[in-house]
Structure 1
């Protein structure tokens, strides 16, 4: 049972960008509100912190499992295996070697496990107990809260598709700024609501994923949000995201568990992004300058 005890009220000057719903768990309807100051979208109504955990209670929420049954799970795990090596190389290159690493929203701990094997001193957070248990079985002990690392500093801090889930966005950005060492690296991966596949699928776009995704970012919004203490060094595409998200979006739209059309949309999104630079998801690499 999902009660509606929400965090903020809609302001008169705020405009509805899109109406969508939670296709994964509750079936509830939500609005996406455009914030013109930072060029991003806010999920409305926004569940409070106590309510949010209920929206993650699904076996189909595969980032909290190591599930390999079913098409989407198999595709996810296959791409994840490749992307883990790419992520490990990225943090090594950005840091010019190994060092201290904090991964926020570490899920089942696979990224930290790979990084640890390559010589990094790793720590991480994960509020989901089932995911943390799976991580511990891999030798990765995770803390539930970012506050558990207050006062500590790291060479590299990563958030792989996590920032969009965090309720207290402004407070979290301040904490991240404090945790990254001077000249250290902050790496953030998030979906891009200005991509072709987002525009094509509209309310069915799986990366809106309301209300688990509380914020929906553009390239400009990410740069603006972190501009005070960080310099954006580079932006990299996550080319597989358009295929996976399109497959899931087509499932939400038509009920088809597999669709060649969705793969074509994913490919088209990547091809268009070669010109527009608006991929389905991006990785943002920041350098701490203050």
Structure 2
């Protein structure tokens, strides 16, 4: 029997089935011990290597083939940088785990003279991050990279935690390398969201097999407090993540393959070749026309803490 990704226990309840962009089939289980939702069977190293091939990161110079998309994402990265800068002092050391192309860390330069560190797996994203001279980049998983104890004033994981194969170990390492009163910012998909409950296996943010596990926000907050972190803040509204999650999840109901629009935006023509240019244009028009509606719906969902993603801010006790 497959074990929970987080606590490694076996007893679980099957919630629903799903499939990935490669046509492989999976199940979503909820652990009876820690209450995490996780993908089963546990993905093999070969399956994960396939999932994180170059087409995942985008094979062109940037991840997305449309420059406007990258500019919009840079705007949101800048917003995250502004928010973090309010919690930290000048000359703080900041570590972004799974830093991607490093643009979030580069945005921090505008707000203070910080010491910037990032970790990223070898590949296209790491190559992009290497272009930023201010970032001290370490290649590999967190457990493979050595940092001194209590060396960071702030640590961030933006939509990275759910990718970790050893999340409990990673949290222990984060607690060890974060200074007392240091800030931890984490965002991830909300498995308790209305989107998750409506679309189930077709939900964009399920992203099998890359997303290995999920926590309901209330459960996760309790887990973090037991791990030595004090809750500071939480936010659910995300114009960056949630409206598009609704659009792509709706399209997943109609398309034979999942994430067709998203893959087309990354320039993954091999994946989308069975769809005509006209079909892709129609999907993009649906996105553009429905986006304002789904911004409003996300505002409503966030009031009930049922938006598709959540961001937490904690402080080490």
Q: Is TM-score (shorter-chain normalized) higher than 0.5?
A: yes
- Give the structure with higher Rg (CA): 2
Partner Cα distance (2:292, 2:215) in 1: 24
Give the TM-score taking structure 2 as reference length. 0.79
Cross-structure match for 2:313: 285
| 1:141-220 pair list within 5 angstroms | 141-145=136-140, 146=142, 147-152=144-149, 153-220=151-218
Provide the secondary structure at the position in 2 that maps to 1:38. Answer: coil
Partner Cα distance (1:236, 1:46) in 2: 30
Assess if the C-alpha contact under 8 Å between 1:32 and 1:42 holds in 2.
yes
Cross-structure match for 1:134: 128
Give the TM-score taking structure 1 as reference length. 0.85
Residue ranges of structure 1 left out of the alignment (5+ in a row): 1-5
From 13, 29, 32, give the equivalent of 2:25. Answer: 29
Assess if the C-alpha contact under 8 Å between 1:246 and 1:265 holds in 2.
no
Cross-structure match for 2:253: 253
Cα 1:65–1:190 change in 2 (3 A) is: farther
Cα 1:225–1:49 change in 2 (3 A) is: farther
Which 4+ stretches in 1 moved above 6 angstroms?
A: 9-12
Cα 1:199–1:264 change in 2 (3 A) is: farther
Q: For residues 240-273 of structure 1, what are the alpha-carbon distances to aligned partners after superposition, in whole Å with 9 as ceiling and x for unaligned? A: 2111212222332223633258647734641432
From 88, 93, 99, give the equivalent of 1:95. Answer: 88
Cross-structure match for 1:3: none
Aligned residues: 279
Residue ranges of structure 2 left out of the alignment (5+ in a row): 256-281
| 1:51-130 pair list within 5 angstroms | 51-57=47-53, 59=55, 61=57, 66-69=62-65, 74-75=68-69, 77-117=70-110, 118-130=112-124
Q: CA RMSD in A?
A: 2.8
Partner Cα distance (1:18, 1:109) in 2: 36
